[in-house]
């Protein structure tokens, strides 16, 4: 029986792990995904954080918002006052869609644009494009890339999605506004993997842009306090993050459904 491409990818990955194991051990600390103290007034903390970072960037995002105040401010306020601006099942967060099926149906529509985002801390320490970078070398012959989740997704999706490795929250905001302006009549959809703290902090901004999609929570050495988040935003991230078994299976199911082209290994 012929093996499918996902099985082949996994076999190549396991072989690369044996021949060229990556640095750093996968370790998931015991405790809450977000520190109890950090959870208090987190919505306001995230708003102040974006405003503070935007001030350093000459109010780039703020000026874009105030050019179309009704378009952006009303959805943001509506999201801000909700108890939860998403629906959650395990490690998966649904934004303005009720299920994977609804999400996939929207992706298939011609009026949609899909972007796939990854926290830079998912990259290997040995990343040829540098870990704290919005670039991805994606070299199919590299034993490093063969073990990288970002390379796997880019390999199977190809040009079916806009590929966004994320360094800072402000950089993500700028790039999302760029996508929004480039495709004004399209429906923006996203599939993103990041820590729970980042999901909670920036969910309202996604709703402000009226985006629909799925976020899958990372495990491992994730940001659990505002202090660790601020350090990570400067590119200092000594620990590794990864998808849990549940999250990895969920991601693979979505990836299989989104992949329609044949790929060679």
pLDDT digits over 194-232, tens only? 999 999 999 888 889 989 999 999 999 999 999 999 999
Work out the burial of residue 40: count CB atoms within 10 Å of its CB; fewer than 13 is exposed, 13-18 middle, 19 or more buried.
Answer: exposed
CA distance 237 to 55: 24
pLDDT digits over 22-67, tens only? 998 888 988 999 999 999 999 899 999 999 999 998 899 999 999 9
CA distance 134 to 131: 9
pLDDT value of position 262: 45
CB atoms within 10 A of CB 234: 10
Task: Judge whether 181 and 65 are in contact, CB under 8 Å.
Answer: no
pLDDT value of position 260: 54
What is the pTM assigned to this prediction? 0.92
């Amino acid at each position: 029986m012929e093996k499918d491409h996902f099985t082949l990818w996994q076999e190549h990955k396991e072989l690369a792990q044996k021949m060229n194991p990556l640095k750093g051990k996968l370790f998931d600390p015991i405790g809450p995904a977000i520190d109890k103290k950090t959870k208090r007034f987190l919505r306001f903390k995230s708003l102040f954080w974006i405003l503070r970072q935007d001030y350093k960037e000459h109010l780039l995002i703020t000026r874009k918002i105030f050019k179309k105040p009704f378009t952006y401010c009303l959805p943001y306020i509506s999201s801000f006052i909700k108890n939860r601006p998403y629906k959650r099942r395990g490690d998966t967060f649904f934004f303005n869609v009720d299920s994977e099926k609804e999400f996939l149906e929207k992706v298939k529509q011609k009026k949609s644009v899909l972007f796939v985002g990854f926290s830079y801390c998912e990259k290997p320490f040995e990343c040829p494009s540098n870990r704290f970078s919005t670039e991805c070398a994606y070299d199919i012959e590299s034993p490093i890339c063969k073990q990288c989740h970002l390379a796997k997704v880019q390999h199977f999706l190809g040009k079916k999605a806009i590929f966004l490795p994320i360094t800072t929250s402000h950089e993500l905001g700028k790039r999302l506004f760029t996508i929004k302006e480039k495709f004004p009549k399209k429906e923006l959809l996203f599939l993103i993997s990041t820590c729970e703290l980042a999901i909670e902090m920036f969910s309202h901004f996604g709703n402000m842009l009226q985006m629909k999609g799925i976020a899958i929570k990372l495990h491992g050495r994730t940001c659990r306090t505002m202090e660790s988040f601020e350090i990570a935003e400067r590119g200092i991230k000594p620990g590794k993050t990864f998808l849990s078994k549940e999250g990895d299976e969920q991601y693979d199911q979505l990836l299989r459904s989104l992949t329609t082209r044949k790929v060679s290994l």
